[in-house]
Amino acid sequence: MVGKKNKISIDNSIRLNRRVITFLFCVAISVFFWLLMTLSRQYTITVNFPVNYINLPFDKVVSNRLPESIDIQIESSGFNLLWYKIKHQREVISIDLKDVAPLAVKNHYYLLSNSRIDKITAQFSNEIKIVRVIPDTVFLNFNKKTSKRVPVKPSVTINFQNQFQQKDSIILTPAFVDISGAADIVDKINFVETIPVTLKNVTNSVSVKLSLKKTPLMKYVDLSQPTVMATLNVTRYTEANIELPIEVENLPLGLGLKTFPDKVSVKYNVAFTNYEKINSSQFRAVVDYKKIETGNNKLKVLLVTSPSEIKAVKLNPEKVEFIIKK
pLDDT in tens, 133-173: 888 888 888 888 888 999 999 999 999 888 888 888 899 99
Which pLDDT does position 168 carry in this prediction? Answer: 82
Kindly tell me if the per-residue pLDDT of 39 is higher than 60.
no
Which pLDDT does position 148 carry in this prediction? Answer: 93
* Residue 84 shares a structural domain with residue 156: no
* Residue 208 shares a structural domain with residue 247: no
Q: What three-state secondary structure class fits 44?
A: strand
Structural domain ending residue among the three candidates 135, 159, 186: 135
Tell me the C-alpha distance between 288 and 319, whole Å: 12
Structural domain ending residue among the three candidates 205, 232, 259: 232
Read off the pTM: 0.55
Chain center to CA of 68 = 20
Q: Does residue 300 sit within a domain?
A: yes
Kindly tell me if the per-residue pLDDT of 262 is higher than 60.
yes
CB 305 within 8 A of CB 245: no
Tally of domains in the chain: 3
Structural domain ending residue among the three candidates 199, 232, 265: 232
Which pLDDT does position 23 carry in this prediction? Answer: 60
Q: Is the pLDDT higher at 41 or at 129? A: 129
Q: Does residue 10 sit within a domain?
A: no
Which pLDDT does position 300 carry in this prediction? Answer: 95
Q: How is residue 25 annotated by DSSP? A: H
Which pLDDT does position 9 carry in this prediction? Answer: 56
Q: ω into residue 252 within 30 of 0, thus cis?
A: no
Q: Is the pLDDT higher at 67 or at 43? A: 67
Nearest to 59 by CA among 182, 178, 156: 182
Tell me the C-alpha distance between 281 and 270, whole Å: 16
State the CB neighbour count (10 A cutoff) for residue 326.
5
Which pLDDT does position 82 carry in this prediction? Answer: 64
Q: Does residue 6 sit within a domain?
A: no
Give the residue numbers spanning the domain of 90: 42-135
Q: Does residue 178 sit within a domain?
A: yes
Q: Does residue 5 sit within a domain?
A: no
Q: Does residue 65 sit within a domain?
A: yes
* Residue 161 shares a structural domain with residue 83: no
* Residue 47 shares a structural domain with residue 85: yes
* Residue 225 shares a structural domain with residue 245: no
Q: What is the end-to-end Cα distance of the chain in Å, rounded?
A: 141
What CA–CA distances, in Å, run from 161 to 171, 200, 235, 277, 282? Answer: 21, 8, 11, 24, 29
CB 49 within 8 A of CB 92: yes
One-letter amino acid of 178: D
Which pLDDT does position 207 carry in this prediction? Answer: 93
* Residue 254 shares a structural domain with residue 321: yes
Kindly tell me if the per-residue pLDDT of 124 is higher than 90.
no
pLDDT in tens, 78-114: 666 666 665 655 578 888 888 788 888 888 888 887 7
Tell me the C-alpha distance between 68 and 135, whole Å: 11
Kindly tell me if the per-residue pLDDT of 3 is higher than 60.
no
Q: How confident is the model at residue 2 (pLDDT cuts 50, 70, 90)?
A: very low
Bridge partners of residue 148, in order along the sequence: 179
Nearest to 130 by CA among 117, 115, 113: 117
